Structure 1
Amino acid sequence: MKRLVWLVAGIALGFIAARQFAMTSRGRAFFDDLDRRAKEFSGSLVEGYREREAELKSAIADES
């Protein structure tokens, strides 16, 4: 139980610190860059998934 309290306290303090940092110009720039990179990463995952799905569908169609 004690570990859970420390975990929740750490998450809360981290959230508060990140929120305060995001209010500065450097913080905004950092989080904007982080957001851009995360969107690029997820976009490439989706693109790769769709390419592989198309390959598999094509292979199934060729077998039929």
Structure 2
Amino acid sequence: MKNVLWFLAGIAGGFVVAHMMNKDPRGHELLAEVDARITEFTDRIGDAYREQEARFSGLVDEVKDAAAGAAESVRATAADAADDVADAARKTTD
């Protein structure tokens, strides 16, 4: 519990210091630069995430298509086998 109290005090102290820095023109400029760098970083991370998401989406679509093709092939093979069995049964009874 003591660690949580220190953590919360550190956060509150950080806000107070940031507020005091923001009042000073140099501090305001520094905080604006930090904010711009953070924004640039988050934009890059977001772009990379969207790129990976698109890449995975493409892979998933390819796998779905391959699975559908395999299922169709199995269905066709099973239908052919059933037809062969039916033909063989007819020949046996004839």
Question: After TM superposition, is the score higher than 0.5?
Answer: yes
1:19-49 per-residue CA deviation (whole Å, 9 max, x = no partner) reads 1111111101111001101110110111011
How many residues align? The count is 63
Q: Which amino acid in structure 2 is aligned with residue 19 of structure 1?
A: H
Alignment partner, residue 53 of structure 1:
53
Query: Which is worse superposed, 36-45 or 12-21?
Result: 12-21
TM-score scaled by length of structure 1 = 0.78
- Distance, in Å, in 1 between the alignment partners of 2:39 and 2:13 is 26
Give yes or no for the alignment of 1:23 onto 2:15.
no
How many Å separate the matches in 2 of 1:2 and 1:57?
A: 46
- In structure 1, list runs of 5 or more residues that go unmatched: none
Runs (4+) off by over 4 Å: none
Name the % identity: 35
Paired with 2:61 and 2:21, the residues of 1 have a C-alpha distance of 53
TM-score (norm 2): 0.57
Rg comparison, structure with higher value: 2
Root-mean-square deviation (CA), in Å? 1.8
Flag the 1:57–1:10 CA change in 2: closer, same or farther, 3 A. Answer: closer
In structure 2, the gaps of 5 or more residues are 66-94
